[in-house]
Amino acid sequence: MKTQLESLTKEIQTRYNQGKIGWALLWLLGVPLPVLLIIYILTGHH
């Protein structure tokens, strides 16, 4: 049971980090912050 919990925790952390990298990459590619903010709000990832 503990191994499943550890693997689930690791999966959540990986997805969270990939999400942060994705937003940073969009910003570095030149997408303005207000546009990123609107996308963030509309997709419901609060």
Q: Give, in order, the Cα–Cα distances in Å from 4 to each of 8, 10, 13, 14, 37.
A: 6, 10, 14, 15, 35
Please tell me the predicted confidence (pLDDT) of residue 38: 92
Q: At what angle do helices 33-43 and 2-28 cross, to 10 degrees?
A: 140
For residue 41, count other CB atoms closer than 10 A to its CB. 10
Q: Which residues, including other chains, have CB under 8 Å from residue 40's CB and lie 6 or more apart?
A: 23
Instruction: Say if residue 34's pLDDT is above 90.
Output: yes
pTM assigned to the model:
0.58
- Rounded Cα distance between 44 and 46, Å, is 6
Instruction: Say if residue 46's pLDDT is above 80.
Output: no
